[in-house]
Amino acid sequence: MKVCIAEKPSVAREIAAVLGATTKRDGYFEGNGYAVTYTFGHLCTLCEPSDYKPYWKSWDLNNLPMMPDKFKVKVSEDKGIKKQFNIVKSLFDKAEVVINCGDAGQEGELIQRWVINKAKYNGKVQRLWISSLTTEAIKEGFENLKPAEDYDNLYYAGFSRSIGDWLLGINATRLYTVKHGGYKQVLSVGRVQTPTLAMLVTRYKEIENFVPQPYWELQTLYRDTLFSYEEGRFLKMEDGELLVNKVKEHEFEIVSITKKKGTEYAPKLFDLTGLQVYCNTKFGFSADDTLKIAQRLYEKKVVTYPRVDTTFLPNDIYPKVKGILSKLTDYSELTQPLLNKKIKKSTKVFNDKKVTDHHAIIPTGIQTHLQPAEQQVYDIIVKRFIAVFYDDCKVSNTTVIGKADDVNFKTTGKEILSKGWRVVFESDGSKSKGESILPTFTKGEKGPHEPSFLEKQTKPPKQFTEASLLRAMETAGKQVDDDELRDIMKENGIGRPSTRANIIETLFKRKYIKRNKKQILPTVTGIQLIDTIQNDLLKSAELTGHWEKQLKDIEKGEISANTFIKGMKRMVDALVYEVRSEKVETRISAVNNKPLNKTKSKSQTKSKAIIGHTCPKCNKGQLLKGKKAYGCHLYGKGCDFVLPFTYCKKKVSENQYLRLLSKGSTVNLKGFKNEGKSIEGLLRFDDNFKLKLEPKQTVKPQIKIGDPCPKCKTGRILKGRTAFGCSNYKTGCDFRMLL
């Protein structure tokens, strides 16, 4: 019997139907000499620390670093998973050959290999490697099964990735949690998530600390066309004013007109990151939403495998293009012009050297009913595919130079000479950025104009959106707009296309980041965590990108898995030594998970830590810990609230400041110094939220419990732990008298 093992029940069902294994059994399909079974994703995982040594269960600095000599795999504890594993193992015991039908990628290879190894199967293994789930693709794949050994390096890369994440994630998370995680707050640190969070925090701080600088622009309006001073902006107002006064006295003259024909190529086919970026920008879908939709489209057979990092197709797809286009009957208006002639073949689309495991995401030609969100994603995948076979768009780029006296001005515009591929997207109402059609100018023409001199300010960088964050992860934090250069840098990106969405979602779940409309912002906890991590390598996107490059080199067989794992162990060992030696401890508490700029309710102000507490003065910012004081994070930007660690030469504890914030005063404290005298008293806020010291009263109050309040006359006197007070104290009367 041949046993096929797929990654999901739905995929197993498709494969079984093609193979004729139509009898449904418990945990598998059977028939025609085949048994087609499945996993539910990860049936097996790496062992936990306590599986190696019982005392590693304890979160103790003395147990770090935890580095098993040999990493082991175990079946997950879930009862349903254990049951399915036993079914798979029983089938393997009867198998003459096992066919690995896992998803054709690094993670799919790892999932299935772990199951095969854990089941102790030692027989022949073959690999099904397909890029779509159409009947044709499955049949073709089974006709061309590969030896499992061909994919050993892919497995080694996946195994190395898991071990690297285990080594750094478990050791660093425990290290920072025990050292800095106040109030039992788990501080999650990871190989990819920490540099991703660091990019967000760095951008947030750049914007917070940005100081706008003024500059001036000289422009003039001639024939309803705006011309700008050719040499750019002015940093000194007086320099520009001299020219403004000069050009006002003269007519505007056209000096030169330059037209240059150009070519605009169709947008590239989608890789997963490109699809996620587009769908976030255009439809507002999160990266995780887009991945899930693309996966459903793949399982519905309408698109090819989505977890890919290339925008190219192999040459052997070219003969199939016309067949795919002819089946896209819902798009016949766009496909018909292509079907009537020879399909264009461009190296910008077909390049075997740019394709490794999989090609770009394209339609299969199958059409079916889709949900609205699925239809949106499918539609743009199809249109990108159609567009690359249209002619290039031909344009004329025009530059016009004019002058007033001897001051030159410039404007540019574009004229579309031949739409080419643009017709595919006309129904979307999309336009190229910065397109403008200029009137017809003649060299030497003159006329009146309207100069203007505008003061502007430099702008900070923009906060990350999910789209721009994905691009930053792809290029290890470098700003890259050029498609060709971005392709080159993909090998050093952080994370993989298939994991980036999950990394971002993990940061949301940990409450290290939050959404503000389309923006992604770090929370106070996220900022504090990155500030606490002094090890720059742990936060380095470039180093993480270098690790990703090494993992790809393992896939190619250029370096060994052992080299990568040894490097990770050296780094973890050095990190543990460094952090354990730190003398400063920063306590990060769970209260920091509240987003920035969010006012708390009264019940929420009774927190267990000052850090993250809403500022009592501006009621907008949140309190952070500095070198000499706690202060509002908006300090210097409209708020000046601080709580110094030492007041009147006395160190004030965090708990006393918490009491002051929640109850309006500290208890009576000894040790304040004023003019050389020691004073006992309590601290309050004055009307401007500055600290004031109220010395302890030495004369006992001549007042009795139950007496009418001497201030409001309606309340009654009550006795508290430190003072007599009015029963109306919380509803309008502020009478208090210290005991």
Q: What is the pLDDT of residues 143-157, one digit of tens each?
A: 999 999 999 999 999
Query: Which residues form the domain of 473?
Result: 162-209+462-581
In a shared domain, residues 98 and 221: no
Cβ burial 31-52 (10 Å sphere, 16+ → b, else e): eeebbbbbbeebbbebeebeeb
Say which range, 3-12, 37-46, 161-170, 618-627, has the weakest mean pLDDT. Answer: 618-627
Question: Is the pLDDT assigned to residue 606 strictly greater than 60?
Answer: no
Q: Which of 187-191, 431-435, 591-595 holds the top average pLDDT?
A: 187-191
Who wins on pLDDT, 460 or 612? 460
Segment (H or E) for 254: strand 252-264
Whether 636 has a pLDDT exceeding 90, the answer reads no
pLDDT of 591 above 50 = no
Q: Answer yes or no: is 442 within a domain.
A: yes
Query: Which of the two residues, 374 and 608, has the higher pLDDT score?
Result: 374
CATH number, domain with residue 569 = 1.10.460.10
Q: Are residues 667 and 689 in the same domain?
A: yes
Tell me, what's the pLDDT at 429? 55
| Mean pLDDT within 201-216 | 92
Q: Do 75 and 103 belong to one domain? A: yes
**Which residues sit opposite 453 in a β-bridge?**
218
pLDDT of 70 strictly over 60: yes
In a domain, 156, yes or no: no
pLDDT at 592: 43
Together in a domain, 451 and 328: no
Which of 342, 359, 387 finishes a domain?
A: 387
Give which of 298, 331, 406 is closest to 10, Cα–Cα. 298
Q: Does residue 239 surpass a pLDDT of 90?
A: no
The Cα-based distances of 494 to 246, 267, 410, 670 in angstroms read 54, 24, 42, 55
Residues 548, 441 share a domain:
no
Q: Is residue 586 part of a domain?
A: no
Query: Do 622 and 570 belong to one domain?
Result: no
Mean pLDDT of 642-653: 90
Tell me: pLDDT of 432 over 70.
Answer: no
Do 433 and 469 sit in the same domain of this protein? no
Range in 132-136, 174-178, 247-251, 597-601 the model is least confident about? 597-601
Q: Lowest mean pLDDT: which of 11-15, 88-92, 612-616?
A: 612-616
Per the structure, the count of domains in the chain is 6
Range of lowest pLDDT (44-53, 144-153, 233-242): 233-242
Q: pLDDT at residue 679 above 50?
A: yes
pLDDT per position as a tens digit, 394-430: 999 999 999 999 999 999 998 888 999 999 998 765 5
The predicted pLDDT at position 483 comes to 62
Residues 9, 138 within the same domain: yes
pLDDT category of residue 620 using cuts at 50, 70 and 90 = confident
561 with 626, same domain: the answer is: no
Residue 93 falls inside a structural domain? yes
Q: Residues 227, 287: one domain?
A: no
CATH number reported for the structural domain that contains residue 446 in this entry: 2.70.20.10
**Model confidence band, residue 48 (pLDDT cutoffs 50, 70, 90):** very high
- Same domain, residue pair 52 and 122: yes
Does a structural domain hold residue 155? no
Query: Using 50, 70 and 90 to split pLDDT, how confident is the model at 291?
Result: very high
Mean pLDDT for 598-612 is 47
What pLDDT is stored for residue 605 in this prediction?
33
pTM: 0.73
Domain boundary residue among 516, 548, 581? 581
pLDDT tier at 608 (50, 70, 90 boundaries)?
Answer: very low
- Does 284 lie in the same domain as 194? no
Angle, CA of 564, 569 and 571, to the nearest 5°:
95
CA neighbor of 151 nearest in space, from 92, 111, 106: 106
Chosen domain end from 405, 439, 457? 457
> Which residues does the annotation mark as catalytic?
305
Residue 701 has pLDDT above 60, yes or no: no
CATH number for the domain harbouring residue 25: 3.40.50.140
Provide the pLDDT confidence category of residue 359 given band limits of 50, 70 and 90.
Answer: very high
Mean predicted confidence (pLDDT) in 589-593: 47
Q: Does 572 fall in a domain?
A: yes
Is 587 among the domain residues? no
Least confident of 435-449, 465-479, 707-721: 707-721
Side-by-side strand order, sheet with 252-264? 446-447, 252-264, 393-404, 407-418, 225-229, 214-222, 450-457
Structure tokens at 503: 């990394």
The answer to the question of residue 157 being in a domain is no
511: alpha, beta or left? (left if phi > 0; alpha if psi -120 to 50): left
Q: Specify the DSSP element, H or E, that contains 215.
A: strand 214-222
